[in-house]
């Protein structure tokens, strides 16, 4: 049985005129196995973030359901941890206090909290920076704190919404490698939204390609590249072929519906 | 490091001290040589001996303590209730629409006009003045708490909600810490308002306190030096208050002092 099931999930936002609604997601179906690394690409505004918010239960679906281990997900909780594009760190907390946040909300005693937080900070190689404040860190370091914070509650699923979107290309690659290393160690289920097709292919076991708004999953591309992966993969013919396939799928969506987001200009 | 410390901290202090000393010196000469009429403007050494008299008679200590107590009680209540009201306003439209008109009215009205009524209700003792301080101080604190919470980053709240945080946890771990700079600005504003209403209230109807002393010496013959002493005491108190809360603020917001 799949660990996470998204069943006929639809979501309408209140529209611009009163009484009207805007259909953002239209009967999305996804099924994810435990320990799988799934990446999602799709045109801007197709509902990728909306999908993650629904899995996190920060939004309620209009119809359909999200199930984790066969149980309906109804409220947010530490079994699904989010990593945000804007990091969402609390500026008044030190790095370690930020990582402790989830444990603190779960009322874990402070000594144990600290121990756990340090463990994950070491994992993202920020052990030395535990008493720094977020503003004293670079963007890449901040997101590593965000990842440590998400991992600290030992979630079943890690939801990452363009986590490296605010970082420049080089740091992005380093972060991708680091995430793979952590994932290979922890074997968490990961749902990873990105605009970068290379990133999607490079990281994922499977790439979900979404349609333009209203969002649906139009295709799943299984990525059978060997693991552990490293950057040399990008020059392999198979890699290029996957990238080509996905690009073609997306291009159709973009031609059918407005513009492909500028910052997604492909590498 | 040495140079910048000198430039940033010491230099303004030295220049400030020089200008104050020069001012005092000119004042002393003008007053003691009767260049200007000293019974109207007094002069520093005369004020200093008035200060000594006020201390030795015990008047100053006794009345300062009373004023401090009135201010302390009223202001502590203003901080607690002000922040609580501010949070309630930020969380509930209904509460906000219900109470906002009263708040605006209280904020714009000079609270001093309520003092006679407060004296009728609570007596001429310290309680009526504490309540006047509270009334004038808690509104800016409440208003700033509300705006502070409204302006915090949505992403902080979302990060907490994603972990399944309760409403109370969101208030204490995201909203209030995020609103601290704004709350502190409200408190600074409230200090000034509180001191004004305290001194004016004491001058107006009371048996004791610094304001009461000021009104006694303002009708006494040769009371001008004493009034200067008392004004300096009030000004010093306000200054120390602001300084204290600035220190508390930088203690509470370490992430801002770095940047
Ligand atoms: N709170 C909201 N109210 C109304 N409409 C919304 C709201 N949030 C998102 N939308 C709309 O829903 C659609 C999907 O938004 P969403 O943020 O999920 O897209 P996305 O795929 O994450 O886009 P991007 O790639 O730009 O991040 C968009 O058209 C957006 O305008
Ligand atoms: Mg998005």
A226-235 tens-digit pLDDT: 999 988 888 8
> Which one of A17, A28, A46 would you pick to mutate in the ligand 1 pocket, going by the greatest count of ligand atoms within 8 A of its CB?
A46
Per DSSP, the residues of B90-141 read HH-HHHHHHHHHHHHHHHHS-GGGGHHHHHHHH-SSHHHHHHHHHHHHHHHH
Ligand 1 atom at minimum distance from A15 CA: 4
- Examine the domain organization and report whether B177 and B88 are in the same domain: yes
Q: Is residue B183 within 8 Å of residue B190, measured between CB atoms?
A: no
Q: Please give the order of strands across the beta sheet that includes A71-72.
A: A21-32, A4-14, A63-68, A71-72
Work out the average pLDDT over B132-147: 95
Distance in Å, CA A174 to ligand 2 centroid: 22
- Examine the domain organization and report whether B140 and B195 are in the same domain: yes
CA distances (Å), origin A211, targets A4, A14, A191, A194:
21, 21, 17, 14
Chain A CB contacts of B162 below 8 Å: 56, 58, 76, 80-82
Mean pLDDT, chain B, rounded, equals 91
Q: What is the pTM of this model?
A: 0.86
Search chain A and give the residue with CA nearest B251.
Answer: A92
Number of domains composing chain B: 2
Work out the average pLDDT over B205-232: 92
Taking CB atoms and an 8 Å limit, are A82 and B180 in contact across chains? no
Work out the average pLDDT over B105-115: 89
Search chain B and give the residue with CA nearest A91.
Answer: B255
CATH number of the domain enclosing B239: 1.10.3720.10
pLDDT value, residue A266:
45
pLDDT value, residue A2:
92
Taking CB atoms and an 8 Å limit, are B177 and A92 in contact across chains? yes
Pairwise CA distance, residues A144 & A115, whole Å: 17
- How confident is residue B259, by pLDDT bands cut at 50, 70 and 90? very low
Mean pLDDT, chain A, rounded, equals 92
Q: How far is A177 from chain B (nearest CA, A)?
A: 25
Q: By percentage, how much of chain B surpasses pLDDT 70?
A: 97
Residues with Cβ within 8 Å of residue A108, at least 6 apart in sequence: A116
- How confident is residue B151, by pLDDT bands cut at 50, 70 and 90? very high
pLDDT value, residue A262:
44
Pairwise CA distance, residues B123 & A152, whole Å: 58
pLDDT digits (tens, 9 = 90+) for B37-62: 888 888 899 999 999 999 999 999 99
CA distances (Å), origin A217, targets A29, A50, A158, A178:
7, 13, 20, 28
Whether the upstream peptide bond of residue A228 has omega within 30° of 0, thus cis, is yes
- Examine the domain organization and report whether B240 and B135 are in the same domain: yes
- How confident is residue B3, by pLDDT bands cut at 50, 70 and 90? low
pLDDT value, residue B35:
85
Phi and psi, residue A70, nearest 5°:
65, 10
Q: How far is A71 from chain B (nearest CA, A)?
A: 17
Pairwise CA distance, residues B125 & B202, whole Å: 10
Partnered with residue A22 across adjacent β-strands are A13
CATH 3.40.50.300 assigned to A4-79+165-174+188-266 = yes
Domain(s) labelled CATH 3.40.50.300 in chain A stretch across 4-79+165-174+188-266
Number of A–B residue contacts, CB under 8 Å: 65
Q: Whose CA is closest to A151, among A109, A177, A121? A: A121
Q: How far is A219 from chain B (nearest CA, A)?
A: 28
- Going by their DSSP bridges, the two strands A80-83 and A189-193 should be labelled as unpaired
Mean pLDDT (10-residue bins), chain A, 267 residues: 94 89 95 97 95 96 96 94 96 96 96 96 94 94 96 96 93 93 94 96 96 93 93 91 95 71 44
Distance in Å, CA B171 to ligand 1 centroid: 27
User: Residue A86 is nearest to which of B155, B163, B252, comparing CB atoms?
Assistant: B155
pLDDT digits (tens, 9 = 90+) for B95-105: 999 998 988 88
- Examine the domain organization and report whether B90 and B4 are in the same domain: no
Q: How far is A92 from chain B (nearest CA, A)?
A: 6
Domain residue limits at B21: 1-36
User: Residue A92 is nearest to which of B155, B160, B255, comparing CB atoms?
Assistant: B255
Pairwise pLDDT comparison (B255 vs A171), residue with the higher score: A171
pLDDT digits (tens, 9 = 90+) for B12-43: 889 999 999 999 999 999 988 888 888 888 88
Task: Name which residue sits closest to atom 29 of ligand 1, judged by CA.
Answer: A45
Chain B contact present for A84, CB below 8 A: yes
Chain B contact present for A130, CB below 8 A: no
- Going by their DSSP bridges, the two strands A217-222 and A71-72 should be labelled as unpaired
- Examine the domain organization and report whether B90 and B49 are in the same domain: yes
Q: Whose CA is closest to B46, among B235, B231, B222? A: B222
Q: Which residues of B touch A (CB under 8 A)?
A: 153, 155-156, 158-165, 169, 173-174, 177-178, 180, 252-255, 258-259
- Examine the domain organization and report whether B14 and B114 are in the same domain: no
Q: By percentage, how much of chain A surpasses pLDDT 70?
A: 96
pLDDT value, residue B11:
86
Search chain B and give the residue with CA nearest A154.
Answer: B163
pLDDT value, residue A258:
56
Distance in Å, CA A55 to ligand 2 centroid: 14
Give helix B126-150 / helix B93-108 axis angle, nearest 10°.
Answer: 130
- Examine the domain organization and report whether B104 and B11 are in the same domain: no
Pairwise CA distance, residues B86 & B78, whole Å: 11
């Amino acid at each position: 049985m799949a660990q996470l099931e998204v069943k006929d999930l639809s979501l309408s936002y209140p529209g611009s005129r009163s009484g009207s609604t805007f259909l953002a997601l239209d009967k999305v179906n996804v099924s994810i196995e435990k320990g799988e690394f799934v990446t999602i690409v799709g045109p801007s505004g197709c509902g990728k973030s909306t999908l993650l918010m629904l899995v996190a239960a920060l939004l309620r679906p209009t119809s359909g359901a999200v199930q984790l281990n066969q149980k309906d997900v109804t409220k947010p909780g530490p079994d699904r941890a989010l990593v945000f594009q804007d990091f969402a760190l609390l500026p008044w907390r030190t790095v370690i206090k930020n990582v402790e946040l989830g444990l603190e909300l779960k009322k874990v005693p402070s000594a144990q909290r600290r121990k756990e937080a340090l463990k994950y900070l070491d994992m993202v190689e920020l052990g030395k920076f535990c008493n720094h404040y977020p503003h004293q860190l670079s963007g890449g370091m901040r997101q590593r704190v965000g990842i440590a914070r998400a991992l600290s509650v030992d979630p079943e699923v890690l939801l990452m919404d363009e986590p490296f979107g605010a970082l420049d290309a080089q740091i992005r690659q380093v972060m991708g490698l680091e995430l793979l290393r952590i994932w290979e160690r922890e074997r968490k289920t990961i749902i990873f939204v990105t605009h970068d097709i290379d990133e999607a292919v490079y990281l994922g076991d499977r790439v979900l390609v979404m349609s333009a708004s209203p969002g649906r999953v139009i295709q799943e591309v299984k990525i059978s590249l060997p693991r552990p992966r490293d950057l040399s993969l990008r020059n392999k013919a198979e890699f290029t072929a996957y990238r080509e396939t996905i690009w073609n799928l997306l291009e159709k969506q973009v031609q059918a519906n407005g513009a492909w987001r500028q910052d997604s200009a492909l590498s | 490091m040495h140079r910048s410390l000198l430039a940033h901290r010491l230099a303004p202090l030295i220049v400030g001290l020089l200008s104050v000393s020069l001012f005092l010196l000119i004042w002393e000469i003008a007053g003691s040589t009767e260049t200007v009429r000293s019974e109207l403007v007094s002069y520093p050494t005369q004020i200093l001996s008035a200060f000594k008299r006020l201390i030795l008679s015990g008047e100053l200590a006794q009345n300062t303590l009373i004023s401090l107590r009135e201010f302390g009680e009223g202001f502590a209540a203003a901080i607690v209730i002000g922040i609580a009201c501010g949070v309630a306003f930020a969380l509930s439209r209904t509460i906000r629409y219900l109470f906002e008109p009263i708040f605006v009215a209280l904020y714009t009205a000079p609270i001093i006009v309520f003092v006679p009524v407060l004296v009728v209700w609570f007596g001429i003792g310290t309680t009526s003045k504490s309540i006047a301080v509270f009334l004038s101080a808690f509104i800016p604190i409440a208003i700033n708490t509300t705006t502070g919470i409204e302006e915090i980053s949505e992403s902080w709240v979302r990060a907490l909600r994603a972990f399944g945080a309760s409403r109370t946890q969101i208030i204490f771990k995201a909203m209030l810490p995020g609103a601290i700079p704004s709350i502190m600005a409200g408190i600074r504003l409230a200090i000034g308002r509180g001191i004004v209403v305290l001194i004016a209230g004491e001058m107006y109807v009371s048996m004791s306190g610094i304001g009461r002393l000021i009104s006694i010496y303002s009708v006494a013959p040769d009371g001008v030096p004493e009034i200067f002493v008392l004004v300096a005491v009030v000004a010093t108190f306000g200054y120390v208050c602001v300084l204290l809360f600035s220190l508390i603020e930088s203690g509470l917001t370490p992430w801002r002092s770095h940047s």
